[in-house]
Amino acid sequence: MYGRGFSDRPYVTYDKQLYMNQLSELISKLHIKTPVSLAGISFGGEVTTDFACLHPELVNKVILIDPGYKNEKPTVPQFVTIFEEAITADDRAMGQLSDFKYPQNHPQWVSKYKVQMKYKNFRWAIASTRYNYLYNGLKSSACLNTRNKPVLLIWGKEDHTVPFKYSDSIRSVLKTDFFPVPDAAHLPSIEKADTVNAKIVSFLRR
């Protein structure tokens, strides 16, 4: 997705429309047969939920892994957030370790994350998303529920980034195949890869 990983970081507004367009254009440009099965982790779960809700004709099944729950616009001006990102870059990088229950098992995680921080517009993309991609997990999940798509919801039981308790809230409005993952935090697909992958394969084969 734009602004994440090794993807481009154009100097644009990072709002819902940007990501909806990017995903639909990607499917079209690659001539991928639709409907597709979509999987999203964390913020990717927000994008996946919204896309399946807005473009149900393009989506077959949905997999959500510890999806984001609520994004509210910060109260300070955006330039302040960009400045704070600049002076606390190490804090952001080190903070990625909190996504794991056992960060000591991933000693290279911070150094790998820092690579993308060198890209032009990294801070702009992070800040613009926070200010422009506003998200309400309850509302978006309820919308997805009306699309009658098979949904697999995976959640690390010791997630402190997007607390496990939000899984109950989502399931109150969205019918899912729920797969809680013990002894894992925000990234169960990494910490418990064998278990999670087996569940995903089983879900896709049904």
Query: Tens digits of per-residue pLDDT, 7-63?
Result: 999 999 999 999 999 999 999 999 999 999 999 999 999 999 999 999 999 999 999
Number of domain units in the chain: 1
Q: What's the one-letter identity of residue 31?
A: H
pLDDT at 83: 95
List the CATH number of the domain containing 193: 3.40.50.1820
pLDDT at 29: 97
pLDDT at 4: 93
Query: Tens digits of per-residue pLDDT, 56-92?
Result: 999 999 999 999 999 999 999 999 999 999 999 999 9
> Is 1 a member of any domain?
no
> Is 119 a member of any domain?
yes
> Is 8 a member of any domain?
no
> Is 192 a member of any domain?
yes
Pairing of strands 70-71, 59-65: unpaired
> Is 6 a member of any domain?
no
> Is 40 a member of any domain?
yes
Residue count of the chain, please give it: 206
Q: What is the 3-state secondary structure (H, E, C) of the chain?
A: CCCCCCCCCCCCCCCHHHHHHHHHHHHHHCCCCCCEEEEEECHHHHHHHHHHHHCHHHEEEEEEECCCCEECCCCCCHHHHHHHHHHCHHHHHHHHHHHCCCHHHCCCHHHHHHHHHCCCCHHHHHHHHHHHCCEEHHHHHHHHHCCCCCEEEEEECCCCCCCCCHHHHHHCCCCCEEEEECCCCCCHHHHCHHHHHHHHHHHHHC
Separation of CA 136 from chain center: 13
Query: Tens digits of per-residue pLDDT, 124-167?
Result: 999 999 999 999 999 999 999 999 999 999 999 999 999 999 99
pLDDT at 200: 98
pLDDT at 59: 98
Q: Report how far residue 168's alpha carbon sits from residue 166's, in angstroms, rounded to the nearest whole number.
A: 5
> Is 10 a member of any domain?
no
Instruction: Dihedral sign for Cα 200, 64, 112, 160, please.
Output: negative
Banded pLDDT at 101 (limits 50, 70, 90): very high
pLDDT at 103: 97
Question: Which domain covers residue 162, as residue numbers?
Answer: 16-205
pLDDT at 75: 94
Question: In whole numbers, what is the pLDDT of the chain averaged over residues?
Answer: 97
